[in-house]
Amino acid sequence: MAVPSSTTELPAAYTGEYVMLRPVSQSDYPTLLSWRAQLTDFRVWSSFDGVPTFEQFAVEMETVTRQSVMLAVARRDTGTLIGFLQAYGINLVDGWCFLSAYFAPEYRRQRYGAEAFLPFVDHLFRHFNLRKIYMEMQEFNMSFYDVAIKTGAFVEEGRFRSHTYHDNRYWDLIRVALYRESWDKIRDWAHSVVHDQRAGMELVREHGLSTNGEQPDLKTEHV
């Protein structure tokens, strides 16, 4: 079922210190397909087996962009496509949606993901009648979970035991939720952490989120 047309209107392009958010275009399809075809991220990208042809992928993307709110994430300095954000399954009656994100491996656990994630979430809560935003993650891909739960931004609302087969075993699928009330309380703080290197490193040390001195990244690679 398609999302009502009023919800598929994309916001004006966002330009931050490190990233730009813009609508996905057909010129992005080759890069998006190349990410999906990477064996190391295959189950992160999709629960479906097999890699589509370019023609199949193009048809799939046309459907995705019609039925969800999807923005490309590009580096501000070079314009290079580095990931995307997507809100899907938007339910305006009960007031919730799902959010997914993907960033190329070389741009993970840096400021790019967090700087893109925050204005996208803010847009969803400001312009849609949403009570909460769900995110799902595989148990084998828990980088976002550590940040989201330990900082108190998200709460775990469901766990599907032994849900996904990957790397010769079954893993849980975990669903977390960010409530509007929680977002209203942490929005300004979250933005200040992303744009303040000292505050970001204090967050890392306080919650033990990283051992390599990198900025924590509010993201999930599950799509």
Whole-model pTM: value is 0.78
Per-residue pLDDT at 170 exceeds 90? yes
Question: Would you kindly state where each structural domain of the chain is located, as residue ranges?
Answer: 5-207
Q: Is a pLDDT exceeding 60 seen at residue 120?
A: yes
- Beta carbons of 117 and 99 less than 8 angstroms apart: no
Paired tokens of 63: 């459907």
Answer whether 69's CB lies under 8 Å from 10's CB: yes
More confident residue, 129 or 185: 129
Least trusted range by pLDDT, from 39-48, 92-101, 109-118: 39-48
Task: Give pLDDT, residue 7.
Answer: 38
CA neighbor of 23 nearest in space, from 96, 84, 104: 84
Chain segment 20-60, per-residue pLDDT in tens: 999 999 999 999 999 888 766 655 555 555 788 999 999 99
Whole-number pLDDT of residue 156 = 94
Q: What is the pLDDT of residue 52?
A: 87
**Separation of alpha carbons 123 and 12, rounded Å:** 10
C-beta separation of 67 from 88 below 8 A:
yes
Q: Minimal CA–CA distance to 186: which of 115, 117, 112, 118?
A: 118
What is the per-residue pLDDT for 146? 77
Lookup result for tokens 């087969």? 165
Mean pLDDT of 75-88: 95
Burial letters 135-164, b for 16+ CB under 10 A, else e: bbbbbebebbbebbbebebbeeeeeeeeeb
Question: Would you call 128 helix, strand, or coil by DSSP?
Answer: coil
The CATH class of 5-207 is: alpha beta
Give the chain's radius of gyration (CA, Å).
Answer: 17
Least confident of 66-70, 108-112, 125-129, 187-191: 187-191
Q: Are the beta carbons of 68 and 3 closer than 8 angstroms?
A: yes
Compute φ and ψ for 208, nearest 5 degrees.
60, 40
